[in-house]
Amino acid sequence: MPARIIQTNETPFKTVPVDTVTLDIIENALRNARIEMDATLVRTAMSPGIREQGDAFPLIADAKGKMIVGQFGSYIGPFLESFDGTLEDGDMIFLSDPYSVGGAISHSNDWLVLLPVFKDGRLVAYTSMFGHQSDIGGKVPGSMPIDATNIFQEGVRIPPVKIWKKGEYNEELVKLVLHQVRTPDWCKADLNALIASCRVAARRVIEMCERFGDDMFASATDQLLERNYRAMKQLIESSVPETPVSFQDYICDDGMGYGPYKMKCTMWREKGKVILDFDGTDPQSEASINFLLNENMMKMFFGIYMIMVFDPQILFNDGYYDLIEVRIPEGSLLKPRFPAALSGRTHALGRLFDILGGLLGQGTPEFLNAAGFSSSPHLFYAGTDRNGKYFQLFQIGFGGIPGRPLGDGPDGHSLWPGFTNVPNEFIERYFPLTIERYETVPDSGGAGLHRGGNGIDMVYRFMEPGVIAIHDDRWFVPPWGVNGGKPGARARKLLVKADGTEIILPNKCEDYKVAAGDKLHFVTWGGGGWGDPLERDPALLAKELTQGLVTAEGARRYGVVLVDGIVDTAATEALRTQMRTARGTIQTFDFGPDIETLRANCLAETGLPAPIQPQWHYAVAAE
């Protein structure tokens, strides 16, 4: 049964003319309100993940639940369809269970609050914010166990409940939830920050309604949605073919010895709509790498990619959703059956952007990006220090962003544009570790006319004994290059014990014990290259040599010979001629070695067994 909206004033909004100036003012006021939500959050949250890295996502929607401004697409529609209850003035919804809202949030660490905004007894908008909590209980610190086989092992699950009801705060509910977590102070502060940000945006919406009138505000939001619909319709007609195109990529492994896992999508245009069909994606995993992909979220991913590649000036909102149809097979990696574990869904989420790039660029290679959005590396470090105080670090790392049509990929940059790194000084102040190095890895970006971004080597020295967990990908299947560009380097993790012993760690491991004085090299992948590397300016390679971005040996991948840091022009011309003759026809995609070759080389390179073909017995049994 869908949610019931209780209004004392049920007068429908009237459609009124909105002049261009007023529309611009309301649009920018909404944009600014969204920014103010972020500012409120980071000023009042406590956890480094939200306060320092910005792992939170705001939204302002109209009275129907369609997002007008935001970052993660509207989950309000699916929520309203599944919430068996009422919404009225003074209510605020609190939830974290992905299965209760059809994947509108994708793992239980994301705590979401939703505020229906009433004015004079009538619903005029919604504001919402969700953020990643550093811990929600469960079997391991950080609540994202790699080896979880069901969602009950991943911490507290909160169904949609009223944290505020008719203006009354449900303090007992909050006490119950916080009793399940390892870091209640952080969680409480972050929850209050989410609430505060929603209330700030609600005030701004009320102010706009009071200034322009409720009908004018509603008509303006309708026009913003309609404008987005028209713009996206043109982009779709010009860039999405009617003939189906397919693309597939792989998650390296599940942390339990199985992999790689295929993600496949086929795209075509039919009767003005884009069809995104994930038939051919592997069945759900027994481990936690499943991603309960909400269809609206996939529409949002598609729209963001289209807008950022083709026309960044378009206001991103929900107006275009009717132009897209998403088909995801039940029981697959992207639509697992309850109670499949979901906490490690980051790898599949990141890989979707690589797949979108591969799909959309096939018809227009000049707009094609290489691979490298790929994942969101996590490091966890927890224990009790010598003073008996518990500590728990959750940090998101960054890999190399892919080479692009307009230039090189940034070195060690975030998957999400709003994320930032946690300052090293902050980490060293609040956690018992020292960051000895934080630098790019030369030559890790794929060679190309536009180089893929280099990965990063973050060297952590642990000052107290404890346990660590590592969540990363792209250690087995490299980020591919395009239009002649080469694949980026794969990720790797190296632990150097206090006595100098070196241990290569998997890119997914849990509860690994470390001692005081141990050092971890947390090395992330490089982005794939874009374009013919033999066309890159040799002088630029010489400059990058001095900057530590490439080595003299690495420059030879571009056919450039550097002697004492200076380009040897004659030797460079000879080498490039030789390389052009030997390579043959340039392919649109360069995926690197095939899976079996990667499997054969893996043990020699890392000393670790390669992931083996996933066993589907549990998926078949679930059917």
* Residue 409: strand, helix, or coil: coil
* pLDDT (mean) for 279-303: 92
Q: What residue has token string 């007992």?
A: 172
The helix-helix angle for 346-360 and 295-310 (nearest 10°) equals 50
pLDDT of residue 357: 87
Report the C-alpha gap between 592 and 31 in whole angstroms: 42
* 406-410 mean pLDDT: 93
Q: Which of 423, 422, 374 is nearest to 525 (CA)?
A: 374
Torsion from C-alpha of 244, 249, 254, 257, nearest 10 degrees: 120
Find how far residue 201's CA is from the centre of its chain.
24
Q: What is the pLDDT of residue 338?
A: 96
| Sign of torsion over alpha carbons 18, 23, 29, 33 | positive
Tokens in use for 218?
């509603």
Residue 284 phi, psi (nearest 5): -60, 155
Distance separating alpha carbons of residues 168 and 92, to the nearest angstrom: 10
Using CA atoms, how far apart are residues 149 and 508, in angstroms rounded to an integer?
15
Q: What is the pLDDT of residue 191?
A: 97
61-120 pLDDT, tens digit per residue, is 999 999 999 876 678 887 888 888 999 999 999 999 999 888 888 899 999 999 999 999
Q: In the numeric block, which tokens belong to residue 333?
A: 């990696």
CA angle 407–411–413, rounded 5-degree value: 105
Question: Average pLDDT of 237-248?
Answer: 92
Tell me what the mean pLDDT of segment 407-415 comes to. 87
Cβ contacts of 331 within 8 Å, gap of 6 or more? 283, 284, 337, 619, 622, 623
Token digits of residue 428: 């060293």
Choice between 255 and 239, residue whose per-residue pLDDT is larger:
255
Report the chain's mean pLDDT, rounded to a whole number: 92
Evaluate if residue 613 carries a pLDDT over 90.
no
| 0.75 exceeded by pTM | yes
Which H, E and C letters describe 441-501, residue by residue? CCCCCCCCCECCCCCEEEEEEECCCEEEEEECCCCCCCCCEECCCCCCCCCEEEEECCCCC
**At what angle are helices 171-178 and 184-212 packed, to 10 degrees?**
140
Helix count and strand count (H, E) for the chain? 14, 26
Spatial separation of the C-alpha atoms in residues 503 and 524, rounded to whole Å: 17
Residue 417 has a pLDDT of: 61
pLDDT at 72: 67
Non-local CB neighbours of 464 within 8 Å, separated by 6+ positions: 383, 384, 385, 386, 391, 432, 433, 516
Dist CA 281 CA 288 (whole Å): 16
- Residue matched to tokens 């959050």: 41
- Give the burial string for 97-128 (b: 16+ CB within 10 Å, else e): bbbbbbbbbbbbbbbbbbbbbbbeebbbbbbb
Pair 386, 462: CB distance under 8 Å = no
Average pLDDT over residues 247-268: 94
Identify the pLDDT of residue 596: 86
Residue 322: is its pLDDT beyond 80?
yes
Closest CA to 417 of 165, 31, 57: 57
Which of the four pLDDT bands, split at 50, 70 and 90, describes residue 140? very high
- Cβ neighbours of residue 100 under 8 Å, at least 6 residues apart? 82, 159, 160
Q: What is the pLDDT of residues 337-352, one digit of tens each?
A: 999 999 999 999 989 9
Confidence band for 617, pLDDT divided at 50, 70 and 90: very low
At residue 374 the predicted structure's pLDDT band, cuts being 50, 70 and 90, is confident
Q: Do the Cβ atoms of 117 and 126 come closer than 8 Å?
A: yes
> Which helix (H) or strand (E) element contains residue 122?
strand 122-132
- Residue 255 contacts residue 343 (beta carbons within 8 Å): no
> What is the pLDDT at residue 619?
42
157 near 150, Cβ under 8 Å?
no
